[in-house]
Structure 1
Amino acid sequence: MFDRNYASFYGGAIDHESGDSVYRNTTLKNNTSGNDGGGIDLDGGTAQFINSKILNNTTTGASGGGIWSRASVTLIKTEVSGNVVGSSSGKGGGIFQEAGGTLVLRDSSVNRNSANGSGTSQAGGIYNQGGSVTLDHSEVNNNASTTASGRRVDQPPVHDSEPVRDPAQHPHQLRRQPRHRHRLRRLTPHAPSPAALRSHPSAL
């Protein structure tokens, strides 16, 4: 667990410059940075979070209350919640994705994060500045920002995800079409009429 750490510049708990990292059953919470990445700053390489939590981290800087990244990042069964970017033009309360990076969420959630600066803060949930973002069976719910939508994701590929609902945006729902079952009727044979029996004894 990384709890109540502080960095005056990047990555309140972790500043990941390069290389490959796997964080399994790991919690980053209540960390603070003075610039980007209240929880973690990922400048390159790859990182995986598996069965992990990124909770209640804060940056007083420009972007990424929970995660700031231009790396290749995968979240699997991971929660990003309660993170805050607090500068007047802050972006990405939960996650800020820089151009050139990739972000994949599988069975994960980005909920109740905020960009609450006094100016033009945007995207309480995820702010994508040109990287690749994929949501796979994941949700982005109940995030908030000062002036713009709770999420700003520039046309990510979405694969069978949960509905995305944010306060400043119309709900977008992905619904599966109901599967119709056709019921087969059992046909009851009709008894031959008496006249048919008289004229065609073989009908018996």
Structure 2
Amino acid sequence: MKKKISALLVMLLVCGIFGGCGATKDADTTTLFPEKKGGITEVAVGDFDKDNYDENELEQYVKDSIKEYEDNDGAGTVKLKNLSVKDGVAKLGMHYSDSTAYSAFVGDTVFTGTVVQAIAAGYDFNTDFVAVTDGAAGDAADSKDVMKNDDYHVIVLSKGVDVTVDGTLQYVSSGVTVKDKNTATVDEIPAGETAEARYIIYK
């Protein structure tokens, strides 16, 4: 049973995780919610077969995984916020104190912070960008224009997932599709291809 639960947990973590700090967040598809203060909330949506998995055992497995992470001096904090199963769909809720904690626990490299902090961390923004106006992708934008906005925030990632920002989208890089004024979809990386960093800039 534990191997089955572990496999389900991995599936949900790959899809994304659900959680919140303060107001509850929810989504019908896997969605990341980067916070301007650095934390990350994530919604994972996955099929759940009660004939093969037990909801209570899954919850305990997640709690044990968090404890093991903390016991091994995991960076930052990781919290289980919510786990629900309804109509065969599971939502696993967690909150990460920062992108370092998220990357260490989940295994997918993600950066959140200001544009200035991203540059200092070594991100070169050397990719194609488009401006976002009124919730729609617009004209091409020069990366120099993107980088000069010191007060803008950015999330950098290389996994296929929806991202809803705490603000308004300003620019997105290639490989990102704008859905509305604060939500974009990072396209899935085809199997066998290098996962290049995708940038979502917002204010």
What TM-score do you get using the length of structure 2 for normalisation? Answer: 0.25
Q: Which has the larger radius of gyration?
A: 1
Relative contact order higher in (CA < 8 Å, ≥ 6 apart)? 2
Higher helix share: 2
Taking structure 1 as the reference length, the TM-score comes to 0.25
